[in-house]
Structure 1
Amino acid sequence: MVHIGPRQPPVSQGDSIMRRLFITIIALALVCASAVPASAITFGDPDGELHPNVGVVVIDRNAASPGPDITCSGTLISANVFLTVAHCVDVLERVGQPYWVSFATMYDEDASAPTGLITGTAIKHPLWGSGGQADTHDIAVILLDSSPGITPAELPTAGLLDELKASGQLRSQTFTTVGYGSVRTDKTGGPNTNEGRDGVRRYALQSFQSLRPNALELSQNPSTGDGGICAGDSGGPHFLGGVDSNLVVSTTVRTDRWCRATNQTYRLDTQSARDFLASFVALP
């Protein structure tokens, strides 16, 4: 046998017992620290009335639940224009049932006759799915049949994120994401630690990762203090700034399968996004 390094003196029985006891204490401390609960969008907090202009799109796609089911999230950007993503509209079209938008702080899928549901007409970007990864055109609106009477979110000026990057300010920015998607609180496990959707509107804070011509990538790694999104949060907003911000600069498109690493979002300050939105709202 080859021994690497200086030979150590033999360990006494007393020293061995003390060492095992020390290791056991440290292990118990780590277990307790990792078991501290947290609420989520993933690794976030219940939103309450912090973002009343963030809503949920529901459609009856699960025969086992009495009421319409959570499908994706979105944001009111004018009196009756609700912003979401095109791949959400694909789901609505595929199911082929009536769909609604709710702005409830807690949406109950098990209610047979939920209140506060607003009908509307969904319109997705005409180039959705044709631009590849260079520009997915994954953006859509739902024109609501009635106004919820809620103050809408603000949209960014053209090229705002590019300006922040050029001035060196983007990397230090905080972003706030909001949605109705699946909850996750366990930092250690894989996909099986996804706790499902409970209908509560939640928010989480995120930090900047990278900026692409049509995409903003944000961290949702709980190990670095970030939260993020999961199934059901698609179309939800990313506000520039902390929880008091009302300026939505991108919408959720996708995340990794564990819902704990990177959140890719579709920028709203690009010419492509603005050309689409200009047909429905006045732009800054």
Structure 2
Amino acid sequence: MLRILLLSVLVALALAEPRYLEEAPEERVVGGEVARPNSWPWQISLQYLSGGSYYHTCGGSLIRANWVMTAAHCVDTSRTWRVVLGDHNLNTNEGREQYMSVSAVYIHPNWNSNSVASGYDIALLRLSSSASLNSYVQLASLPPSGQVLPHNNPCYITGWGRTSTGGSLSAQLKQAYLPVVDYSNCSRSDWWGSTVKNTMVCAGGGSDSGCNGDSGGPLNCQVSGQYVVHGVTSFVSSLGCNTAKKPTVFTRVSAYTSWISGIIG
């Protein structure tokens, strides 16, 4: 499942190429710590059917009782998908999980799988039935259209992605503190340069980051005392998940408010 994006349009500065954060089963957030079970109740595990079993490939956020938001690159291959809600340890049935089949996949029409740097890495999944909302499964809050968070705004990435580049695996949901890196900094030539667009959010850039398996999951940002999903995990540097000056890059949810509303009503 390894998918490495080789951009032919990167500037001559030989910037690190973006790499999708979706790879093989059960890979984790770099750094950070194991999350308190069900403390991010909108976090979902997106899984695909292979050989009679389902395998985790990406994260996502429950935004309506029957709608999930994830990354376009997670679902631009035709597969049989399911969404698991209320999960914490992917290897254990804790009795809180809800398993939902996916009845329709809506990928942003401008998404180009050969050019993640163009943006539009967002997709919506319609579930076959509505989730039962409870203390373990809740809806994500989304930002108002156009809202851009300031530099160093506190955020957390959550997911079941790799714990280090090529590193060890853990079945439990992890979280890592990733403050926002504003566009003016993230687009500097010695950072991501022109690869990053203003329809994206950068966060982190230090020892903690997203990694393979985290794609599509939320960037949970503190705004006015609550957590709001401001980003959909999109890509990291091909030089390594937590490369200095190459913060994790997310699709900025507030840039796609009208598209989301047009699909889910």
Fold shared per TM-score above 0.5:
yes
* Unpaired segments ≥5 residues, structure 2: 1-27, 184-196
- Asked whether 1:42 is paired with 2:30, we answer yes
Aligned to 1:195: 168
Deviations 1:53-105 (A, max 9, x none): 101111134x5xx73111100000111110001100124x1xx3x21011211
Structure 1 Cα separation of the partners of residues 118 and 226 of structure 2:
27
Q: What TM-score, normalized by structure 1, do the two folds share?
A: 0.67
Q: What TM-score, normalized by structure 2, do the two folds share?
A: 0.72
* Unpaired segments ≥5 residues, structure 1: 1-39, 165-169, 185-190
Deviation at 1:133, TM superposition (A): 6.2
Structure 1 Cα separation of the partners of residues 139 and 91 of structure 2:
23
Q: Which amino acid aligns with 1:157?
A: P
Structure 1 Cα separation of the partners of residues 159 and 205 of structure 2:
14
Aligned to 1:175: 155
Aligned to 1:118: 100
Q: Is the 8 A contact 1:85 1:251 kept in 2?
A: yes
Q: Is the 8 A contact 1:181 1:232 kept in 2?
A: yes
Q: 1:173 to 1:79 in 2, by over 3 A?
A: same
Larger Rg: 1
Q: 1:157 to 1:246 in 2, by over 3 A?
A: same
Q: 1:239 to 1:67 in 2, by over 3 A?
A: same
Structure 2 Cα separation of the partners of residues 281 and 151 of structure 1:
17
Aligned to 1:209: 181
- Asked whether 1:250 is paired with 2:231, we answer yes
- Asked whether 1:159 is paired with 2:141, we answer no
Deviations 1:196-240 (A, max 9, x none): 3x3321111112223242111111422xxxx22111110011111
Q: Which amino acid aligns with 2:254?
A: D
Aligned to 1:260: 242
Q: Is the 8 A contact 1:220 1:263 kept in 2?
A: yes
Structure 1 Cα separation of the partners of residues 113 and 81 of structure 2:
26
Deviations 1:133-167 (A, max 9, x none): 67421110111112222320111112210xx4xxx
Deviation at 1:132, TM superposition (A): 5.1
Structure 2 Cα separation of the partners of residues 160 and 210 of structure 1:
12
Structure 1 moving runs of 4+ over 6 Å = none
Q: Is the 8 A contact 2:73 2:113 kept in 1?
A: no
Q: 1:214 to 1:182 in 2, by over 3 A?
A: same
Q: Which amino acid aligns with 2:201?
A: L
Q: Which amino acid aligns with 2:204?
A: S
Q: Is the 8 A contact 1:239 1:245 kept in 2?
A: no
Deviation at 1:256, TM superposition (A): 1.9
RMSD: 2.5
SS of 2:59's equivalent in the other structure is strand
Q: Is the 8 A contact 1:80 1:148 kept in 2?
A: yes
Q: Which amino acid aligns with 2:57?
A: T
Structure 1 Cα separation of the partners of residues 112 and 76 of structure 2:
11
Query: How many residues in Structure 1 have an aligned counterpart in Structure 2?
Result: 211
| Identity rate, percent | 22
SS of 1:49's equivalent in the other structure is coil
Return the structure number with greater helix share: 1
